[in-house]
Amino acid sequence: MTVFGNRNRSRTMAQRIAFLASDAPLAQSGRDALIARYGTCDPEEAEVIVALGGDGFMLQTLHSTQDLDAPVYGMNRGTVGFLMNEYHEDDLLDRLALAEEEEINPLSMRATTASGDIHEALAINEVSMLRQGPQAAKLRIWIDERLRLDELVCDGALLSTPAGSTAYNYSAHGPILPIGSDVLALTAIAPFRPRRWRGALVRKSSVVRFEVMNPQKRPVMADADSRSVRDVVSVEVRSEPAVAHRILFDPGHGLEERLIREQFV
């Protein structure tokens, strides 16, 4: 993920608000309370979209509204809430007026299955290759059309953006990436061979291609932000600069600060 710049939003930009919420009762009750206080409109007419839920719902909202001009301000009514702001009802208009905006680029996944079908999807956090059965996956990894790893025996591998580097990537012992860095994290999931290989950093402009070795015996699925494709034989992943997700954060609580703070917990 690349931050294109933070900027204070004018108070007049928060007049038409669309409130969206996950199915969780806590999120639904929060949406009802906010609508009763501030009103609402359709996302297509909104100047700002407020998403209530957890990080999963925030990713869902960013994907579903990526063609709209309105930025998204998340309020945590879920569990972790890494991409969310704290939930408060009283001062929403003031918070929106002072919120700092960050723009992030997703990853583009192009997956080819054993039957020859091609599936495309965008991922804000990461694209993962995951073993589909009891056998370990065997992957071959190319970067910018150059073979870099002839055989990786593992439960899987993933390519993560800086925004997603504290999620699955971090759980798999991958590095936390600064928001301003023009790199992506390539991380192995439970690698068996090479046993000591823990991944690599690649340029944001790089094209990473995973090839599945012996897919009949060792089937693999690809996943882009929880949208899965089974029985893949190859997957190409690259950053997609043509798509920019706009996210609003309370001052001093943006992604850069959160990523730095995560490293000193």
Task: Report CA-CA distances (Å) from 29 to 22, 53, 59, 218.
Answer: 10, 11, 20, 45
Q: Is 78 annotated as a binding residue?
A: no
Q: Is 139 helix (H, G, I), strand (E, B) or coil?
A: strand
Is residue 211 annotated as involved in ligand binding? no
Q: Is 166 annotated as a binding residue?
A: yes
- The CATH class given to the 11-105+244-262 domain equals alpha beta
Q: Is the dihedral of CA 8, 12, 15, 16 positive or negative?
A: negative
Domain boundaries along the sequence of the chain: 11-105+244-262, 107-239
Q: Is residue 126 part of an annotated ligand binding site? A: yes
DSSP state letters, 170-219: HHTTPPPPPTT--EEEEEEES--BSTT---EEEETT-EEEEEESSTTTS-
State yes or no: 155 annotated in a binding site.
yes
8 Å CB contact between 83 and 247: yes
Report H helices in the chain.
Answer: 25-38, 55-64, 92-98, 168-171, 255-262
Give pLDDT tens digits along the chain (265 positions): 333 334 444 444 457 999 999 999 999 999 999 999 999 999 999 999 999 999 999 999 999 999 999 999 999 998 877 889 999 999 999 999 999 998 999 999 999 999 999 999 999 999 999 999 999 999 999 999 999 999 999 999 999 999 899 899 999 999 999 887 899 999 999 999 998 888 999 999 999 999 999 999 999 999 999 899 999 999 999 999 999 999 999 998 878 888 888 878 6
Q: What is the pTM of this model?
A: 0.85
Name the residues annotated as catalytic: 55
Beta-strand relationship, 48-53 and 17-21: parallel
What CATH homologous superfamily does 107-239 map to?
Answer: Probable inorganic polyphosphate/atp-NAD kinase; domain 2 (2.60.200.30)
